[in-house]
Amino acid sequence: MDLFNKAYRYRRANDLKATGLYPYFRPITESCGGTRVQIGDRELVMAGSNNYLGLTHDPRVMKAAREAVDHFGTGCTGSRFLNGTLSIHEQMEERLAAFLQKEACITSGTGYQTNVGAIATLAGKSDVIFGDRDNHASIIDGARLAFARHLKYRHNDMEDLERLLQTTELVPGGGRIIITDGVFSMLGDLAHVPEIVALAKKYEARIMVDDAHAVGVVGPNGRGTPEHFGVSDDVDLVIGTFSKSFACLGGFVAGPREVIDYIRHTSRSVIFSASMTPGSVATVLACLDIIEAEPERRTQLWDKVAYMKRGFEELGFDVIDGGSPILSIVIGDDTTTMEFNKQLFEQGVFVNPVLPPAAPPGMSLLRTSYMATHTQDDLDEILGAFKVVAERLRIMG
């Protein structure tokens, strides 16, 4: 048997292409200010990005990235552990720890890698991980690499979590950790962090919150879901990414000094992979300045999300609004969702179709997400296109 047979037999992508509904890997040739993109001969409003604060095209951020390239070059060509630590990496980690009101912070190449490295290094073979069933793939993969048991509770179901905590015996020397997304990436709903804190106290568990979609935008100061719920001090570890509000690429984990120091010296994602590029580090520092100095960007973002939610509801759509910059529109069956997506594209609007298993069965959705920099015209164009397509497909909420 040829090991490549699975690839030769793989038909799904080509079958979808044959129907004309294939929506993936669409090459953007130009990005106009972040809220508009050019794909082929079309200009589209971007309503499928995680650029929540619209900072990818902020002149101050772009200038900082260019200057860092001039000063340090384009890459570090080594891991933080060896030759890849720049003075600005240390500055960035100190600034992030202070921003999140944690003792220390360590970064790695992506949020994905950060989760994998931190979880695999912390959760040993006597330990138990309690994870939300809808957690991000990088948490699942970290748990797979860890030698710990991984028990999944039903999405945001605190009774199920308590049942698992109550009925799971620890082996001597073992510990517990509850891991959850702060904002769940597809539905955009928030974890029940205060309830998780209460259960963690009752059952002596540590807590890790992956706040990839929240840091920078959720909470009065943008410190994420723990701040939003007023429980920052009770969340042990915060994971984040720089690929969303921080407008570049990289990931971090923040928490108690000894734990971060342990991750720094034992996480394979830190030790065996190159450090963030100078341009990305400078981008994070510039974004952090703006996140701290311009709270009005968050106000603008939330006003826009509220406007869009009202707009979709007035059009009769079923909108999932979980309190994040993500509004998911429930369409229902897979084919209609893909057709809806294709027609939106033709109308000049870019969104992301989400099908099971990423969405609950029978609840395929169009995931829309917003930026502080979307203009009123951008928003009205998105609503207008949804209206036209819904009328054409004769589905209205």
Residue with smaller CB distance to ligand PMP, 136 or 387 = 136
- List the catalytic residue out of 102, 136, 150, 244: 244
Least Cα distance to 381 among 319, 317, 308 occurs for: 308
* 3-class secondary-structure state, position 79: strand
For the stretch 254-261, contacts whose Cβ atoms lie closer than 8 Å and that sit 24 or more positions apart, written own/partner, are: 254/96, 254/97, 254/100, 254/102, 254/104, 254/105, 255/102, 255/103, 255/104, 255/105, 256/102, 256/103, 256/104, 257/103, 257/104, 259/122, 260/103, 260/104, 260/105, 260/106, 261/104
Question: Taking the complex as a whole, how short is the minimal distance between the CB of residue 287 and ligand PMP, in angstroms?
Answer: 14
Query: Residue holding tokens 């900072």?
Result: 55
Burial (CB < 10 A; 0-12, 13-18, 19+), residue 291, is: buried
- List the catalytic residue out of 102, 150, 192, 213: 213
Question: Taking the complex as a whole, how short is the minimal distance between the CB of residue 269 and ligand PMP, in angstroms?
Answer: 11
Question: Taking the complex as a whole, how short is the minimal distance between the CB of residue 318 and ligand PMP, in angstroms?
Answer: 23
For ligand PMP (CB under 6 A), the number of binding residues is: 14
Question: Are 366 and 307 within 8 A, CB to CB?
Answer: no
Residue with smaller CB distance to ligand PMP, 8 or 24 = 24
Question: Taking the complex as a whole, how short is the minimal distance between the CB of residue 50 and ligand PMP, in angstroms?
Answer: 7
Q: Known catalytic residue: 150?
A: no
Residue with smaller CB distance to ligand PMP, 112 or 317 = 112
Pairing verdict, β 349-350 and 104-108? unpaired
- List the catalytic residue out of 49, 108, 185, 232: 185
Q: Known catalytic residue: 213?
A: yes
Question: Taking the complex as a whole, how short is the minimal distance between the CB of residue 346 and ligand PMP, in angstroms?
Answer: 27
Question: Taking the complex as a whole, how short is the minimal distance between the CB of residue 205 and ligand PMP, in angstroms?
Answer: 20
* Sheet of strand 349-350: strand arrangement: 30-32, 36-39, 42-46, 349-350
Quick count: other Cβ atoms within 10 Å of Cβ 343? Answer: 17
Residue with smaller CB distance to ligand PMP, 179 or 389 = 179
- Each residue 168-207 as x (binds ligand PMP by CB under 6 A) or -, in order, gives -------------x---x----------------------
Least Cα distance to 153 among 126, 131, 168 occurs for: 131
Q: Known catalytic residue: 244?
A: yes
Question: Taking the complex as a whole, how short is the minimal distance between the CB of residue 206 and ligand PMP, in angstroms?
Answer: 18
Residue with smaller CB distance to ligand PMP, 138 or 232 = 138
Query: Is 339 one of the binding residues for ligand PMP (CB under 6 A)?
Result: no
Residues 88-147 touching ligand PMP, rule: CB under 6 A, are: 110-112, 115, 136, 138
- Each residue 222-251 as x (binds ligand PMP by CB under 6 A) or -, in order, gives -------------------x-x-------x
The stretches of the chain forming alpha helices (DSSP H) are 5-9, 12-19, 59-72, 87-99, 111-122, 137-145, 158-167, 193-202, 225-229, 257-266, 268-271, 278-293, 296-314, 334-346, 376-392
* 3-class secondary-structure state, position 349: strand
Residues 298-337 touching ligand PMP, rule: CB under 6 A, are: none
Residue with smaller CB distance to ligand PMP, 241 or 267 = 241
Question: Are 223 and 97 within 8 A, CB to CB?
Answer: no
Residue number of the CB atom closest to ligand PMP: 111
* Sheet of strand 104-108: strand arrangement: 104-108, 251-255, 237-241, 205-210, 176-181, 128-132, 149-153
Question: Taking the complex as a whole, how short is the minimal distance between the CB of residue 184 and ligand PMP, in angstroms?
Answer: 7
- Each residue 205-224 as x (binds ligand PMP by CB under 6 A) or -, in order, gives -----x-xx-----------
Residue with smaller CB distance to ligand PMP, 244 or 387 = 244
Catalytic positions, written as ranges: 185, 213, 244
- Using CB under 6 A as the criterion, which residues of the chain lie in contact with ligand PMP when the complex forms? 110-112, 115, 136, 138, 181, 185, 210, 212-213, 241, 243, 251
